[in-house]
Amino acid sequence: MIIPVQKGEEFLTDFREADKVSGAIHIWWLGQSGFLVKWAGHGLLIDPYLSDSLSRSTEGTPEELNRISERVVDPLLLTGIDVVVCSSTDPDRLDPETLLPLRTANPALKVVVPAGCAGEADALLGAAAPPLVPVNAGTYVKSGPFDFHGINAANPKIRHDERGNSKDLGFVILFGPFAIFHSGATVWHTHLVKEVRRWSVNLAFLPINGVDGNTPNRVSMNGFEAAAFAKAVSASLAVPCHYGLFDRHNPTTDEFSSCCERLGQRYRLLKIGQRLTMGPITDPSAGKALPSEPYSSDWGLGY
How is the chain split into domains, by residue range?
8-278
State the virtual CA torsion across 108, 79, 86, 96 in degrees, nearest 10.
-90
Q: If 0-12 CB within 10 Å is exposed, 13-18 middle and 19+ buried, where does residue 9 land?
A: exposed
Name the pairing type of β-strands 83-85 and 110-114. parallel
Portion of the chain with pLDDT greater than 70, in percent = 89
- Are residues 274 and 5 in contact, defined by beta-carbon separation less than 8 angstroms? yes
pLDDT at 24: 92
| Pairwise pLDDT comparison (99 vs 64), residue with the higher score | 99
Return the amino acid letter for 126. Answer: G
What is the model's pLDDT at position 203?
96
* pLDDT in the model for residue 293: 38
pLDDT tens-digit profile of 155-213?
889 999 999 999 999 999 999 999 999 999 999 998 999 999 999 999 999 999 987 54
CATH number of the domain located at residue range(s) 8-278 in this protein: 3.60.15.10
Q: Which of 207, 184, 175 is nearest to 135 (CA)?
A: 184
Share above pLDDT 90 across residues of the chain, in percent, rounded to a whole number: 75
Nearest to 180 by CA among 217, 154, 146, 208: 146
Predicted pLDDT of residue 280: 63
**What is residue 112's predicted lDDT score, i.e. its pLDDT?**
98
Cα separation of 165 and 163, whole Å?
6
Instruction: Select the more confidently predicted residue: 264 or 303.
Output: 264
pLDDT digit string, tens, across residues 204-251: 999 999 875 455 567 799 999 999 999 999 999 999 999 988 877 788
Does residue 57 surpass a pLDDT of 80? no
Q: Is 266 helix (H, G, I), strand (E, B) or coil?
A: coil
pLDDT in tens, 63-86: 788 888 999 999 999 999 999 999
Sign of the CA dihedral running 287, 289, 290, 295:
positive
Tell whether the model's pLDDT for residue 284 goes beyond 60.
no
Amino acid at 219: V
Residue 275 DSSP class: E
